[in-house]
């Protein structure tokens, strides 16, 4: 990445290592300390230009593109810090379960966001960047804040492009464990239900099954039943939409335990009595093959102790 000194308007030329990156991700990296909301405001206003033209956040950049970045004040975050603290960075580093020259895998705990924004100063990616300032790190995919489990972080543009291509093609096997309401009687069930995102008053994002939504496929399979109260499910994703498992489960009449947005209040209360203090959804397995080397990557994360404790009490 080539560019002039931070201060006034910058003209940044995209090099080969950044080709394929989304425009918003490049801006968030280049404008460290600037709130995400302000970065997206600059894009909406057309103050950011690519090759002299307005551009959308999701634009994929090509080598040689010239990005105009307007002058902005390097504001401090809501916490009064411009970088994650050492304690947070160390905590995220302790959750790294795999690393090689192109990939970091974090076993993310529930309650920790994958990135800053929406009132949160920092997340997993900011903490990793703070502890590894000389490495370009980018999220390959995302997990909801309340979902625990395996999260892929790419090192450099080439690895990121490979992972994004695999995810788009459905070539990354993604498996979750979820506890859902009621006795599941459908056996192994493939739910092919399109999902659309809308916004309620106040800006809250809500996903729903809708004929005009994006194709979304989840495969549910029961593992263990707890009478008529709940069923432990294995869920394999063929697509990766926002809130996909939670919405598909709720639509089928079996909402995920602990889901305050799409779930059922009375069921959640009964599970709280069994010790559940969070969403019962865990990303337990990821498997894929690097397209350039043929090397397979198989990663697993066991169910966290707090969720195992809930199952033990239900048994």
289: nearest Cα among 185, 170, 205: 170
Give the 3-state secondary structure of the chain: CECCCCCCCEEEECCHHHCCCEHHHHHHHHCCCCCHHHHHHHHHCCCCEECCEECCCCCECCCCCEEEECCCCCCCCCCCCCCCCHHHHHHHHCCEEEECCCEEEEEECCCCCCCCECCECCCHHHHHHHHCCCCCEEECCCCCCCCEEEEEEEEHHHHHHHHHHHHHCCCCEEEEEEEEECCCCCCCEEEECCEEEEECCCCCEEEEECCCCECCEEEEEEEEEECCCEEEEEEEECCCCCCHHHHHHHHCCCCECCCCCCCCHHHHHHHHHCCCCCCCEEEEEEEEECCCCCCEEEEECCCCHHHHHHHHHHC
pLDDT digits (tens, 9 = 90+) for 268-315: 999 999 999 999 999 999 999 999 899 999 999 999 999 999 999 998
Among the listed residues 24, 144, 146, 259, the single catalytic one is 144
Instruction: Please determine, for residue 203, whether its predicted confidence score (pLDDT) is greater than 80.
Output: no
Query: What pLDDT is recorded for position 13?
Result: 86
Instruction: Please determine, for residue 82, whether its predicted confidence score (pLDDT) is greater than 60.
Output: no
Tell me if residue 144 is catalytic.
yes
Instruction: Please determine, for residue 4, whether its predicted confidence score (pLDDT) is greater than 70.
Output: no
Domains of the chain: 10-69 (3.10.290.10), 86-166 (3.30.2350.10), 170-314 (3.30.2350.10)
pLDDT band at 32 (very low <50, low <70, confident <90, very high): confident
pLDDT band at 8 (very low <50, low <70, confident <90, very high): low
pLDDT band at 204 (very low <50, low <70, confident <90, very high): confident
pLDDT digits (tens, 9 = 90+) for 120-173: 567 898 889 888 888 888 999 999 999 999 999 999 889 999 999 999 899 999
């Amino acid at each position: 990445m080539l560019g002039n000194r931070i201060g006034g308007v910058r003209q940044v030329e995209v090099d080969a290592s950044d080709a394929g990156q989304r425009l918003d991700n490049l801006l968030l990296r280049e404008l460290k300390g600037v709130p995400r909301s302000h970065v997206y405001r600059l894009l909406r206003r057309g103050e950011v230009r690519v090759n002299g033209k307005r551009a959308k956040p999701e634009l994929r950049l090509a080598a040689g593109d010239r990005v105009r970045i307007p002058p902005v004040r390097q504001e401090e975050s809501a916490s009064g810090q411009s970088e994650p603290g050492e304690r947070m960075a160390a905590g995220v580093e302790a959750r790294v379960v795999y690393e090689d020259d192109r990939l970091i895998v974090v076993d993310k705990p529930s309650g920790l966001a994958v990135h800053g924004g929406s009132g949160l100063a920092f997340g997993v990616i900011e903490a990793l960047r703070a502890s590894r300032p000389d490495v370009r790190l980018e999220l390959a995919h995302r997990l909801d804040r309340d979902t625990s489990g395996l999260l892929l972080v790419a090192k450099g543009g080439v690895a990121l492009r490979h992972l994004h291509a695999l995810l788009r093609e459905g070539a990354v096997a993604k498996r979750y464990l979820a506890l859902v309401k009621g006795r599941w009687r459908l056996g192994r069930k493939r739910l092919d239900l399109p999902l659309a995102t809308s916004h309620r008053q106040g800006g809250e994002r809500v996903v729903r099954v809708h004929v005009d939504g994006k194709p979304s496929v989840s495969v549910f399979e029961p593992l263990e039943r707890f009478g008529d109260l709940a069923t432990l499910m294995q869920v394999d994703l063929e697509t990766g939409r926002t809130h996909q498992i939670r919405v598909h489960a709720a639509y089928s009449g079996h909402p995920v335990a602990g889901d305050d947005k799409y779930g059922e209040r009375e069921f959640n209360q009964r599970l709280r009595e069994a010790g559940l203090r969070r969403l019962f959804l865990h990303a337990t397995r990821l498997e894929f093959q690097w397209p350039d080397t043929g090397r397979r990557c198989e990663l697993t994360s066991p169910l966290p102790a707090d969720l195992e404790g809930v199952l033990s009490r239900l048994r």
